[in-house]
Amino acid sequence: MAERTWAGRGVRGVLLDLDGVFYVGDRLLPGAPEALERLERAGLRWCFVTNTTTRSAASLLDHLRRLGLPARAERLLTAPQATAAWLKREGIGRCHLAVAEAVREDFAGIRAVTRAPQAVVVGDIGNRWRYGLLDRLFRQLMDGARLVALHRNRYWETGDGLHLDLGAFVAALEYAADIRAVITGKPSPAFFAAALERLGVAAEEAVMVGDDLESDVGGAQAVGIRGVLVQTGKYRPELAARSLVRPDAVISSVADLPALLGC
Amino acid sequence: MAERTWAGRGVRGVLLDLDGVFYVGDRLLPGAPEALERLERAGLRWCFVTNTTTRSAASLLDHLRRLGLPARAERLLTAPQATAAWLKREGIGRCHLAVAEAVREDFAGIRAVTRAPQAVVVGDIGNRWRYGLLDRLFRQLMDGARLVALHRNRYWETGDGLHLDLGAFVAALEYAADIRAVITGKPSPAFFAAALERLGVAAEEAVMVGDDLESDVGGAQAVGIRGVLVQTGKYRPELAARSLVRPDAVISSVADLPALLGC
C-alpha cells in the first residue's frame, strides 16, 4: 500500500526534523549528511523544521555547521520563530517568557515581563522547572493570561534514554487552570503551513520526516502532508505500536530516505 | 428543587471535608465547631474525609485538637490511609513514595524504594516538585510502574489565593507516559465507600460537604451521595459557574449546614 502511495504522488518538498533524525545530542547519525546531498542533487526542496527550543535559530545554525550539516537560515524553521510570529499576528506584546535564555533572542519585539503578562509562553527550560515557577504561571493563567506552548512533545531522547519533555508541563498547567494551550511549533497546522510556504510546494507534494509520531508524523498528516517515521532518536517499537498514528512510511534511519523517494 | 430533595430523603450521615471548610491554614472558619456540635446533638453520624496529604493522620488529629475541633481517629479518613489500604489490597509492596515526609508513617508495611518500584505514589510535596524528580518518576512509569495519586485536585487555597495542587503533577506524568493514574483519595469511589462503611449509612442517606466541586461534590454525586458546596476555601463563583458539576445545595459556609439539614 505504501508503494502505491509513493508512486502515485510526486514529492517536490521535504520537511526534515533535526533532533533524533540527523543527530542525537552532539552525535551525527550515520548517513545523514549524505542523504541530504542526494535530496539536493535530485532537485528536491527541503527545510529543517524543529521543535528544539533550547537554542536560538542562530545558535542552531552554528550547531549544524559544527556537525557538518548544511546550515542556511532560509532552510530552517524553529518553534521559537513560529511562536514570535504568532504573538505578533495576535498583537500580544507582554509575555512571561518561560523559555531557555538562549532562545530569548528569537523573541525580539516581545516585551518580557514577569507580572501581569498577556500570555505565558513556555519552552524547554530543563532543570529550571519547579513548583514555584509553575505556581506563578498558574496564577497568571487564572488571572486571564493566554497559555502559549512552543510544543507539547511528551519526551525526548538524550542519548541515555527517554526523558520528560515540555508537553508534561503544558499538560500540568492546562489541567490546573482548566484551559487549553495554543501550540505554535509542530504539530500546529500554522507551523506546517509556514514551512510549506517557505518551500513553495503544496501539502500533497510534501513529506515530513521525523522521530516523533505525534508532532512530526501525525501533525503532518493532519494537514495533508505525508508522514515518514524514522526508527532513530526517540523511536520505540512498543510506543509506536500503541499509537493511533499510522505513518505513510517507516524507514530505519534518514539514510534510507533517498531510496524511499527514488533519488 | 433543592428543598424537595432535602425534604424527601432523610440524612443520617455527613461526610465533611476539612481544609477550606473548617479551616484555611491555621485559621478556624467562623461557626465551624458550633455547626459540628449541632450535628452531633441531632444524632447525625459524621466523619472528616480529607485529601490533605501534607500531614499524617496522627498529626492531623493534633492539628484539629489545637484548632478546637473534635479529633478522634475513627472520625477521620485521609487520602494517605486510603492509599495504603489500596496498595495492600493490590499486593503492591515496593513503592517510590513521592509524598511529604510527614505522611510516610501512614504507609507502614510498604517498602519505600527509589529504584525499580512496582508503583509510583504521588502526594503533595510542595516545593520539592522539580524537573529531576518528575523525570525520574516518568522513567519508572515507562518501565512499567503503576501511577497511584493520592488525589488530583487542581488547586488549593492557602489564605493568599489559589495555588497549584497535586493534580497538575499527576496530569504531567499521565500525559508524558500516556497512562492514567489510579486516584485513591476523593473523588475515588473506593474512598467514599470506605467513608460510608465507617458511618454505617447508605449513599442515599449521606451528604458530602466540601469546597472542591470535583473531588468533593462531583465525586460524592457519582456514587449517589448528595454533594453540598460551601462558598469558603477554594470556592470561586466564576469557576463554579464554568464547571459541569451541579451541587445538590450551596451554602455560604459550614455554619449554615445545620439549618440545611434541619437540625
pLDDT in tens, B230-243: 999 999 999 899 89
List the single residue in B with minimal CA-CA distance to A170.
Answer: B172
The whole-number pLDDT of residue A30 equals: 95
The whole-number pLDDT of residue B5 equals: 54
Q: HSE on the CB side for B49, CA within 13 Å?
A: 36
Per-residue pLDDT tens digits for A157-167: 888 999 999 99
Per-residue pLDDT tens digits for A193-215: 999 999 999 999 999 999 999 99
Nearest chain B CA: its distance from A240 CA (Å): 12
Mean pLDDT, residues B111-132 taken together: 97
Per-residue pLDDT tens digits for B183-199: 999 999 999 999 999 99
Q: E-assigned strands of A63-172?
A: 76-78, 94-98, 111-112, 119-122, 146-149, 155-157, 162-164
Contact B139 A162 (CB under 8 A): yes
Q: Which of A120, A124, A135 to mutate to test the interface with B (most CBs of B within 10 A)?
A: A135
Strand, helix or coil at A152?
coil
The whole-number pLDDT of residue A210 equals: 98
Instruction: Inform me whether the pLDDT recorded for A7 exceeds 70.
Output: no
- The predicted complex's ipTM stands at 0.90
Partners of B126 on chain A (C-beta within 8 Å) are: 131
Say if strands A182-183 and A146-149 run parallel, antiparallel, or are unpaired. parallel
Torsion, Cα A173 A178 A179 A181, to 10 degrees, reads 30
Peptide linkage before B187 cis (omega within 30 of 0):
yes
Q: What is the pTM of this model?
A: 0.90
Partners of A134 on chain B (C-beta within 8 Å) are: 129, 164, 168
Per-residue pLDDT tens digits for B23-77: 998 999 999 999 999 999 999 999 999 999 899 999 999 999 999 999 999 999 9
| Phi, psi for residue B135 in degrees, rounded to 5 | -65, -40
Instruction: Inform me whether the pLDDT recorded for A5 exceeds 60.
Output: no
Identify the helix (H) or strand (E) that includes residue B230.
strand B226-230
Instruction: Inform me whether the pLDDT recorded for A146 exceeds 50.
Output: yes
Hey, what's the cell of A35?
542523504
Partners of A138 on chain B (C-beta within 8 Å) are: 155, 162-164, 168
Of B134, B139, B178, the CB nearest to A154: B178
Share of chain B above pLDDT 90, in %: 91
List the single residue in A with minimal CA-CA distance to B161.
Answer: A139
List the single residue in B with minimal CA-CA distance to A138.
Answer: B164
Per-residue pLDDT tens digits for A105-118: 999 999 999 999 99
Q: How far apart are CA A62 and CA A64, in angstroms?
A: 5
Instruction: Inform me whether the pLDDT recorded for B4 exceeds 60.
Output: no
Instruction: Mark which residues 20-59 of B lie under 8 Å from A by CB.
Output: none
| Phi, psi for residue A254 in degrees, rounded to 5 | -65, -20
Contact B132 A127 (CB under 8 A): yes
The whole-number pLDDT of residue B9 equals: 67
Mean pLDDT, residues B196-204 taken together: 95
Hey, what's the cell of B70?
473534635
Contact A134 B164 (CB under 8 A): yes
Q: How far apart are CA A60 and CA A70, in angstroms?
A: 11
Instruction: Mark which residues 212-241 of A lie under 8 Å from B by CB.
Output: 239
The position carrying cell 473531588 is B215
Q: How far apart are CA B80 and CA B10, in angstroms?
A: 31
Q: How far apart are CA B122 and CA B255, in angstroms?
A: 33
Instruction: Inform me whether the pLDDT recorded for A1 exceeds 90.
Output: no
Per-residue pLDDT tens digits for A18-46: 999 999 989 999 999 999 999 999 999 99
User: For chain A, first and last CA: distance in Å?
Assistant: 20
Hey, what's the cell of B149?
495519586
The whole-number pLDDT of residue A159 equals: 82
Contact B139, A161 (CB under 8 A): yes
Instruction: Inform me whether the pLDDT recorded for B2 exceeds 60.
Output: no
Strand, helix or coil at A250?
strand
Q: How far apart are CA B127 and CA B56, in angstroms?
A: 18
Q: How far apart are CA B45 and CA A217, in angstroms?
A: 58
The position carrying cell 484555611 is B24
Q: How far apart are CA B174 and CA B178, in angstroms?
A: 5
Instruction: Inform me whether the pLDDT recorded for B7 exceeds 60.
Output: no
Q: How far apart are CA A39 and CA A257, in angstroms?
A: 9
Instruction: Inform me whether the pLDDT recorded for B117 exceeds 60.
Output: yes
List the single residue in B with minimal CA-CA distance to A128.
Answer: B131
A138 Ramachandran zone, left/alpha/beta (phi>0; psi -120 to 50): alpha
Per-residue pLDDT tens digits for A84-111: 999 999 999 999 999 999 999 999 999 9
Torsion, Cα A61 A62 A68 A70, to 10 degrees, reads 30
The whole-number pLDDT of residue A4 equals: 46
Q: Compute the mean pLDDT over every residue in chain B, rounded to the nearest whole number.
A: 94
Say what angle helices A166-177 and B166-177 make with each other, to 10 degrees.
140
Q: Compute the mean pLDDT over every residue in chain A, rounded to the nearest whole number.
A: 94
Instruction: Inform me whether the pLDDT recorded for A125 exceeds 80.
Output: yes
Neighbouring residues of B215: CB distance < 8 A, sequence distance ≥ 6: B51, B151, B152, B153, B185, B186, B187
Q: How far apart are CA A123 and CA A97, in angstroms?
A: 8
The whole-number pLDDT of residue B263 equals: 86
Instruction: Mark which residues 127-186 of A lie under 8 Å from B by CB.
Output: 127-132, 134-135, 138-139, 142, 154-155, 161-165, 167-178
The whole-number pLDDT of residue B6 equals: 65
Contact A201, A13 (CB under 8 A): yes
Contact A217, A229 (CB under 8 A): yes
Strand partners, A111: A94
The whole-number pLDDT of residue A9 equals: 67
